[in-house]
Structure 1
Amino acid sequence: MGSLFRSEEVCLVQLFLQSGSAYNCVSELGELGLVEFRDLNPSVNAFQRKFVSEVRRCEEMEKTFSELFFFNCDFNNTDYTNITPENVV
């Protein structure tokens, strides 16, 4: 990870990537934690950008996984040893 005080030397670069490999390249750079990305299209609405459908799909999957996680936590923290047919509603 970079220094908090930015005493390290930095440079500005522009990457031109093929669409097929762009995600993997950006993901790897992000995992390194040594880069900062700049939005070159700030005037474009977020819903008008490329890959909006993929981002929405990822958000839906994240929501589903978080719901499953909380359900699993609730399920694991409940004592099911005393359940009888009489007390099941």
Structure 2
Amino acid sequence: MLNAINKFAPFPYPLSSQQLSELNPKLHRKDLAVREDAFKRAEKYINNEAKCGAVDATISRTFKVKDTEHERIDIEIITVKVFTE
């Protein structure tokens, strides 16, 4: 796991999107290139949830990299309201 965010208050969409973007420099160029589409799908998911009024439930969402076995981007939310505007 590259990054875990532990927050106990509502977590606004702009900060959620920023946290996802901050993972990019932590990856090697090759790993980032492989996960580029997964990052785009994860960002789109966050954006769509924010437009729908946020997530207020426990969820685990995985964005797998096509034609690979282990590469992916995971979003996990554990009982906190996130992606609020």
Structure 1 length-normalised TM: 0.26
**Higher Cα Rg, which structure:** 1
User: Between Structure 1 and Structure 2, which shows a larger proportion of helix residues?
Assistant: 1
User: Between Structure 1 and Structure 2, which shows a larger proportion of strand residues?
Assistant: 2
Higher relative contact order, structure no. (Cα contacts within 8 Å, ≥ 6 residues apart): 2
